[in-house]
Amino acid sequence: MLGKLFGFRSARILLSSQPPTRLCAQAGRSHGPYTPHFASSSILIRRQFLITLPKTPKILPSPSPQAVAEISALEAAADAEPRNVESQVKLLRHLVSTQTKTGYKLVMNRWERMCQFDPASPLLRSDEAFELYLTALAKSGHEASITHAAHRRDTLLSGNGVSEDVSPSLDAHRIEVPPSPTPSLTAELPESPPNLVSRSRILAQSILSKTFKTAQPSTGTPESSPVGAAVAGSGVGVSGNPIHVTLSEPRGATFMRFVRFIVLTFVGSFFILVLLAVLLENSGLLKVNRKASEFEPMQSKPVKFSDVLGVDEAKEELQEVVEFLKNPATFANLGGKLPKGILLTGRPGTGKTMLARAVAGEAGVPFFFASGSEFDEMFVGVGAKRVRELFAAARKKQPAIIFIDELDAMGGKRSSRDAHYMKQTLNQLLVEMDGFQQSEGIIVIAATNFPESLDPALVRPGRFDNTIAVPLPDVRGRVQIVRHYMKDVTSSPEVDPMIIARGTAGFSGADLQNMVNQAAIKASRDGKKEITLKDLEWAKDRILMGAERTSHYIDPKVKKMTAYHEGGHALVALYTEGAMPLHKVTCVTRGHSLGLTQFLPDDDQVSVSLKEYLASIAVSMGGRAAEDLIYGEENVTSGCMSDLKNATKQATNLVRLFGYSRKIGPVHYQYDDDLSTAKREEIESETQRILVDGYNRAKTLLDEKKDELHRLAEALVEHETLDLAQVRRVIKGEPIESVEESLSKLTSESESPPPVLEPQSEGSTAGEGEQAEVAAS
């Protein structure tokens, strides 16, 4: 092989007459330009050498036959022992000493083949061998590839593996200079690792320095080298046209920097906003528009005791407070003091807030209003601060009245498990009402629906001295309330407030106001000029039973079963002694019920006897008993669930709370913790016995009145709604006005006469509470 290369001209070497711009380090493959990363401190040295590289030195003639024979022997020894560094270096040294282009080519081929196919060879760690390789590159005119060769050796030595992105072998492709006279210097500069200058780079710089020093005396200018001429010709790297260096970052570094920026911005903004909110809250800037409604006397139309109806006992107790505020000296003669607090308790809508406003209106003193839920917010200490501000504003206007609605929102019972900041608002209220600093001339009136949930320290004498219960209005109170609200609407002269009041037992003042308003809306929608008793009756049924579902389709079979169910309730109520009087029965869908039976007590009930409880249980079982009697036990529907729930609750109360069981005795078991297992079983047994007895009683009665049950069910299917008088006529077999006759009568008369209602109060038993869901499914 060596003889063919050195001795015969037929062995042509595909080399160009010009030196290459760069030499890549992989044999047998072509590759594009290498993009360098200038991160090393040696960039200035490399730039200087690349600009002033000399021309290719003159190649001496071929060696003598003796030298070729010696090189052939060394080559055979090196091939026999590829891992022997000494034999490999000796061969490379002799090849370089030939000072021929072919010898330099063989040195480069052997080194690059070793790097490609045996990167773990010990020859790679030999600095002398690497220096011979760099010398061959410099002597053969490939100075631009020296720095890249050093970088590749460092990469292989660091254990990163051999890159696929390397240059072709010299014996496989021809190395040519690009035709452009101004090649890009950036494309020719190799990549350098960001570490300190390694041994390979020191050797590379040494070879480049020697080449530069050798070429400088003969040239004198950097334009004498191909690269230098190209750089000088393009004007790159001089003042006014610098070389632009791009520093590349590892993949993913930009994303992590962006995420870090977002997180830091969010956290910093959060703390800044919290600090700003605390400062604004403490400075009072956020409460500029709120102080007028919270800490200033309310400017509105004064309310008098004459405007508060149906709560005469509560007005009498509050009248003493009004007299004390008007004439404190009269009570102070005997050493009396103004009460500090009055607690109003009762169901919603009974007039507690209006009573407090009436006290302020009658006494003519400033009235401060606050709600229990308005004190505490998201910041700790805000509730206690607002309590202090409220009492401070009231002291400036004393004598004054502070009304706190829904006191249970801030005055609930404290426990050791509560956090300390949850007690600050209540503690501040306790201190303001009866603390070291006495509040003279200030009365605190509070209202709550749950007095049992208040803290004992709050309701003790000295803070809330008086507790006034505001009950639901009785018949006389309801008459007064209805007359009061009827003044604001146009009503028919036939409307009797007494009839309305007796039929609205259990209604609060707010319920009566809503009923009158609903009746006025319906009369206006129907085009009437005044409200009739029928409109008020419609409004009462809407409040008690819900709105009619006129668009809901009911299967005829389901409607007939509902008629039997409601007819069972009605017949048991008619024929059972002690049952609540029947008022109305309907199979019209209202709310979640397919039908409903409504009852009216004779008067306001304050107590219930055992006979009345047992009759109520039998009436509740009447619907299920009717279904069982007509359709069979296997066809009883789930619409009886609400009836069973009501009956079970009453039977349980009879045994556990009221002492009506002979077996259990006159005892009161309110909580399950008070019961043993045996006693609990006895109570359940007695409850079941009462329920079974009531069911059998209802079923026996309906079996005896089966014909009347059929007539009542058929009438309900036809007319849908029947009152007490119509029910009595139906069960006697007497005809009632049909639907067609009623419609013709309504069209013939300009105004239909109102129905005559008995002077009774009202109550109801929902029978088909769950049957609507069954029908819908």
Return the number of other C-beta atoms located less than 10 Å from residue 741's C-beta.
Answer: 10
Alpha carbon separation from 754 to 92, 363, 532, 676, 723 (Å, rounded): 128, 45, 7, 58, 13
- Active site (annotated) includes residue 566: yes
* 65 CB-contact burial (10 Å; exposed 0-12 / middle 13-18 / buried 19+): exposed
CA distance 187 to 33: 6
Q: Of 112, 566, 708, 770, which residue is the catalytic one? A: 566
Cα gap 572→242, rounded to integer Å: 109
Burial level of 46, CB count in 10 A (0-12/13-18/19+)?
Answer: buried
Cα-based distances in Å from 688 to 369, 624, 625, 646, 684: 52, 16, 16, 13, 6
For tokens 């079963």, the residue is 561
Closest by CA to 390, choosing from 367, 409, 407, is 367
- What's the CA gap between 27 and 16, in Å, rounded? 17
Amino acid at 85: V
- Please choose, from the candidates 389, 368, 376, the residue with its C-alpha nearest in 3D space to the C-alpha of residue 284: 389
What kind and span of H or E run contains 271? Answer: helix 253-283
Dist CA 233 CA 224 (whole Å): 11
Phi, then psi, of 359 in degrees rounded to 5: -60, -45
Query: Phi and psi for 238 in degrees, rounded to 5?
Result: -115, 175
Give the whole-angstrom CA distance, residue 482 versus residue 498. Answer: 9
Cβ-Cβ contacts under 8 Å for 58 (sequence gap 6 or more): none
Question: Are β-strands 596-599 and 582-586 bridged in parallel, bridged antiparallel, or unpaired?
Answer: antiparallel
The count of residues in the chain is 777
Whole-angstrom Cα Rg for the chain: 53
Amino acid at 93: R
**What would the two tokens of residue 141 be?**
């005119």
Phi-psi bin for 220: left (phi > 0), alpha (psi -120 to 50), beta? Answer: left
**Distance from C-alpha of 753 to C-alpha of 495, rounded to nearest angstrom:** 11
Helix (H, G, I), strand (E, B) or coil at 657: coil
**If you search the block for the tokens 């389709």, which residue do you land on?**
553
CA distances from 272 to 262, 264, 265, 268, 281 (A): 15, 12, 10, 6, 14
Burial 367-405 (b: 16+ CB within 10 A, else e): bbbbebebbbeeeeebbbbbbeebbebbeebebbbbbbb
Check: CB of residue 721 under 8 Å from CB of residue 699: no
Q: Give the closest residue to 377 by CA, choosing from 266, 268, 290, 270.
A: 290
> What span, in angstroms and rounded, lies between the C-alpha atoms of 585 and 563?
9
Q: How far is CA 404 from CA 376, 386, 391, 429, 460, in A?
A: 14, 13, 12, 11, 17
φ/ψ of 296, rounded to 5, equals -125, 150
Sheet holding 596-599, edge to edge: 721-723, 582-586, 596-599, 763-766
Residue appearing with tokens 């600095």: 127
Q: Which residues are catalytic?
A: 566
